[in-house]
Amino acid sequence: MQAHLSVFKDEAKLDISYVPHILPHRERELKLLTEFFSFALQSPEKMTQRVIITGDVGTGKTVLSQRFGANIAVEAAKRRLSLRYVHVNCREYRGRLFLILQHVVSAFHPNFPARGYSAEELLRILMQVLDEENAYVILSLDEFDSVIDREGSEAVYKLTRLQEMRQGKAQRLSLVCIMRNLDAMQSLDASTRSTLQSNVIRLDNYTRQQLLEILSGRVELAFKPSTVSEDTLGLIAELAASEGGNARFGIELLWRAGKYANAEAVGCVTPECVRKAVSSIVPSFRKSDLADLVFHEKLFLVGIARLFKTNEEASISLAKAEQAYAVVCEEFDVKPNSHTQLWKYLQGLSALDIVKSEVSGKGARGRSTRIFLPRIPALELEKELSALLEKEVK
């Protein structure tokens, strides 16, 4: 693939580790998080903070915390304050507190001997290092539920009550705990739970419209101009919304669709590229669902698949689909079914999640019904149906 034909201008902007400077629809939460830590830039020794960030998969918990961490580190550096933000994915350390703390200590002392210390010892060493360097840490414990699962109350207690054991000394270690849901908290004893739960930031699932804005931000950063149409973007936003408002799913689809566009050298990311991308991530349809369709449903669907194969819009009208169906009927030398019957087929195909239909405009007239093919590549669908039909007419 020649570089100049690529749809990407900077693929790294779609990487999971990339932290955008602007997080659309998380401005309020970012402000709140920053507000919780406002003391840290003024008089960090006087207090510590504990915040929980919670929300479903792909709602931006990790990226929110990382954006905050990068911002506050810049501010601290301006003030010549030794304040570090350390982000740890606890699951990577199998929820083991001593492994997590080893990692944190090594952020300050890269050559710190890795083995042989208990969590308690490491915590003491960490505080000692911080005292010596007059440094402060905001420790972000991502996927924190894995720590609770693994270590239970006691370890969490050690972490959260640390300051109380250091009476009279400067406060140094703040926590951001990130977890998808707060159920795991129920297993903690009441007092640990209450020290943790004081500040909870809950991230709601993104709506389709919000996803659209997040994704178009990424398109601008990662793709060459005019390579991703509004229809393509709308389809991706729709799919990500139907996956529970999962921004990660949307960004991954965008990247994969770009890969398909490059592989086929089409020069832009079409809805068909998106369908290929989505079917490569989640199994798009069960072949038995197609085999079970009645003969005319299959013919109708062949017509739809053919339209999508050549159409770069995200949807087609029912009227167009009827015309395409009539052409297929002619090929098979059968009389087309009525409009009412096709309407029923459409409902059935929607129920099976093969297509999606939407009535736009006034009334439920056929004219204003739009058909979407969100998940199955049109080419694949046509091939599969043709094979089935061939068997049936033999």
Ligand X SMILES: Nc1ncnc2c1ncn2[C@@H]1O[C@H](COP(=O)(O)OP(=O)(O)OP(=O)(O)O)[C@@H](O)[C@H]1O
Which residues sit at the interface with Mg ion, rule CB under 5 A? Answer: 62
Nearest distance from residue 198's CB to Mg ion, in Å? 22
CB-nearer residue toward Mg ion: 245 or 374:
245
Size of the site for ligand X (CB under 6 A): 19
Which region among 119-127, 194-202, 247-255, 264-272 touches ligand X (by CB under 6 A)?
A: 247-255
CA atoms of 83 and 136, how far apart (whole Å): 5
Nearest distance from residue 64's CB to ligand X, in Å? 6
Tell me the one-letter amino acid at 196.
L
CB-nearer residue toward Mg ion: 246 or 284:
246
C-alpha distances (whole Å) from 268 to each of 10, 111, 274, 312, 325 are: 15, 49, 11, 10, 29
Phi first, then psi, for residue 77 (nearest 5°) are: -60, -40
Given ligand X, Mg ion, none, residue 256, with its beta carbon under 5 to 8 Å by kind, binds none
Given Mg ion, ligand X, none, residue 152, with its beta carbon under 5 to 8 Å by kind, binds none
CA atoms of 141 and 62, how far apart (whole Å): 10
Binding mask 162-181 for ligand X (x = CB under 6 A): ------------------x-
C-alpha distances (whole Å) from 98 to each of 107, 155, 161 are: 14, 10, 16
Determine contact, residues 196/185, Cβ cutoff 8 Å: yes
Task: Give the tokens for residue 285.
Answer: 């349809």
Our finding on whether 12 is near ligand X (CB under 6 A) is no
Nearest distance from residue 23's CB to ligand X, in Å? 4
CA atoms of 253 and 237, how far apart (whole Å): 10
C-alpha distances (whole Å) from 211 to each of 22, 250, 334 are: 14, 8, 45
Our finding on whether 26 is near ligand X (CB under 6 A) is yes
Task: Give the tokens for residue 111.
Answer: 């050559």
Our finding on whether 256 is near ligand X (CB under 6 A) is no
Our finding on whether 214 is near ligand X (CB under 6 A) is yes
CB-nearer residue toward ligand X: 20 or 267:
20
Residue 58, classified by CB atoms within 10 Å of its CB into exposed (0-12), middle (13-18) or buried (19+), is buried
Nearest distance from residue 50's CB to ligand X, in Å? 19
Task: Give the tokens for residue 377.
Answer: 């590549």
Binding mask 74-93 for ligand X (x = CB under 6 A): --------------------
Given Mg ion, ligand X, none, residue 127, with its beta carbon under 5 to 8 Å by kind, binds none
Residue whose C-alpha is closest to residue 214's, from 243, 246, 180, 244? 246
Our finding on whether 69 is near ligand X (CB under 6 A) is no
Binding residue for ligand X (CB under 6 A) from 36, 40, 60, 269?
A: 60
Contacts of 206 (CB under 8 A, 6+ apart): 25, 59, 60, 214, 240, 241, 245, 246, 247
Given ligand X, Mg ion, none, residue 352, with its beta carbon under 5 to 8 Å by kind, binds none
Binding residue for ligand X (CB under 6 A) from 13, 36, 55, 98?
A: 55
Binding residue for ligand X (CB under 6 A) from 30, 44, 49, 58?
A: 58
Contacts of 329 (CB under 8 A, 6+ apart): 299, 335, 336
Nearest distance from residue 55's CB to Mg ion, in Å? 9
For ligand X, the binding residues (CB under 6 A) are 16, 20, 23-26, 55, 57-63, 180, 214, 247-248, 251
